[in-house]
Structure 1
Amino acid sequence: MAMYDQFAFIYDRLMSDIPYTKYAEWVQKKAPTSAGNKLVDIGCGTGVLSVQFAKAGYEVIGVDLSEAMLTVAQNRSTENHLSISYICQSMAEMDGIQGMDIAVIAIDSLNYLETIQEVEQTFQHVFHSLVEGGHLFFDVHSLYKMDEIFPNGPFTYEDDQVAYIWNTEIGEERHSIYHDISFFVKDESGYYERFEESHYQRSFPLESYENLLKKIGFTSVSVSTSIFEEQSEKEVERIFVHARK
């Protein structure tokens, strides 16, 4: 499983096109602070959304498996003079978090779980962390993206500080993909340092997520494909789900 050790320190630069503000607005519209403001940001990464939620008036706990990511997140919180608690845990083994009004698993973090059993365990932990009437928000890669877009690698990127070559390979399990990325990062002397990152992601049919949510006890499960922008019905790449306990 990817730990983002070196990647953590250039992650924000490479994710600058993600409309985090739209994600935060989606959550705020469905679950305003006036209805309960305790929020756990699961798979919080470098804390971009955690900070946005805290600025909007939520009391935030951030959870991530990568200590390197959490270091960046903590620094971001300090720079913004915000008090956010960060916990290093796997979402499938999340423990000790109770009384939450809102849980968010953003930017395809759920796709890093390798089995449907891990997805179920995560939903169970989230369910038990929420108060009655609490909200769960998450997004996942569509099967179209897993099966049609990702296998069309390699993908490349270059700016004045960072370049990468991103190779992809279809995994053994259905709707899974291996990401092998070579990064070239310019140091202060103008030379490039190379490092490698390997990631594995897997998605499941939307019905599988919906059935698990209902099995565990979530209600009012709603699905959207237009939180970031309108997507063609045949070429949906990201699916957004909102459920209530």
Structure 2
Amino acid sequence: MIDRPDAARFAHVKDWVFDLDNTLYPHHTNLFSQIDVKMTAYVSELLTLPREEARTLQKELYLKYGTTLAGLMQRHKIDSDDFLEKVHDIDYSWLTPDPALGSAIRALPGRKFIFTNGNRGHAERTARQLGILDDFDDIFDIVAAGLTPKPAPETYDRFLALHRIAGPDAVMFEDLARNLVVPKALGMTTVLIVPRNFEPTFSEIWERDPAFDDAVDFVTDDLAGFLGGLAGSRA
């Protein structure tokens, strides 16, 4: 079910927090698939594994440690900077500017943040390609998180403390429901971004989170439209 934005439930919001990948741009652009391929290649080269074995291990690390990076650091002591540079060496032209999203974000009252398990460079290049980089107050990336990814509670605590955000005054937009469990517990309003018509072009079953539905307040497959609805109702 796709929700219509209920402006009354967002009237208190002072801080707007957005995940990056598959949230600020739609799933069907398939941008993250490039990163996924790069991560598999990294694991394959690091451990001299065939591609399919490397991919299986990559997903195992992702599920156990929250990110492939966290798992590789834990098990193989890799250089995080090297990993982040290589897996984010992708073609951002797959994204097209999104003026409607930019207008909707600018119309929101309060501060706006990107909170991502990727690195700052990736977030900046993505947001710049979308035409929305200047609409955000700051980017909180995996390096700022001390390389501890969402959904670790300490990562949210670190983000909120850095920017002096009170959970009940904030909303978080995410494409993974498990990453909304802690925000929900902290009093944040939560919005799950799902693929258009619930049909992802590259997501796999291991990425889906039906067990965490209780952490989700709203669901939408159109972020710009959802935010625009909030702004329109305030006018």
Higher relative contact order, structure no. (Cα contacts within 8 Å, ≥ 6 residues apart): 2
> What TM-score results when the alignment is normalised by the length of structure 1?
0.39
Answer 1 or 2: which has greater helix percent: 2
